[in-house]
Amino acid sequence: MAIVISAAQLKIIYDHAENIYPEECCGVLLGKIHKLDRTVVEVIPTVNAWAKSELVDDLSIVNEIARTKHTRYTIAPQDIFQAQKRGRDLQLEIIGFFHSHPDYPAIPSTCDRSQAWEVYSYPIVSVINAKVSDLKSWVLDRNGEFQPEEIQIIIH
């Protein structure tokens, strides 16, 4: 199980993460699935639409840490709809969602897990002092736990 992504596509994600710092960046990954591997064809950076009025079903998450764009992200439904439309036009599908963790490791949070679905890859970029320091990708298993996903970087 791996996510296959080009160096140029990673640069788009890294630039987005560094430009949005100290807030979390986010975006959609369009691509193709072959067996257990997901190949990224297009990276779509989006606006972090998190607002203080966001509702969280799991109240334990509310007390975890302050809920701001520095610690949370959401992608607006219209952005997901546009990504789905673009994917349909290109005969691709949404294969994952990326986001950054400002001044925090590239490991999923409790909130990340509560919002994740098994069918997607979740690359997380750690950004320390406005510079990318790490990238890890995760997939949710059938037990609702994140497992590391291999990242295969290709050069175009």
Q: Domain tally for the chain?
A: 1
pTM for this predicted structure: 0.90
So what's the pLDDT on residue 52?
57
pLDDT of 64 reads 46
Using CA of residue 72, residue 50, residue 44, residue 103, what is the dihedral sign? negative
Report pLDDT for 54.
Answer: 46
Q: CB of 34 within 8 A of CB of 42?
A: no
Which pLDDT does position 86 carry in this prediction? 98
Q: 7: domain range?
A: 2-154
100-153 tens-digit pLDDT: 999 999 999 999 999 999 999 999 999 999 999 999 999 999 999 999 999 999
pLDDT in tens, 40-50: 999 999 999 99
Q: In this predicted model, what pLDDT tens digit does every residue of 5-23 receive, in sequence order? A: 999 999 999 999 999 999 9
For residue 50, the model assigns a pLDDT of: 92
pLDDT at 156 over 90: no
Tens digits of residue pLDDT in 52-98: 544 455 545 444 445 788 899 999 999 999 999 999 999 999 999 99
pLDDT of residue 66: 56
Residue 31 has pLDDT above 60, yes or no: yes
CATH classification at residue 58: 3.40.140.10
Cα gap 59→91, rounded to integer Å = 39
pLDDT of residue 67: 74
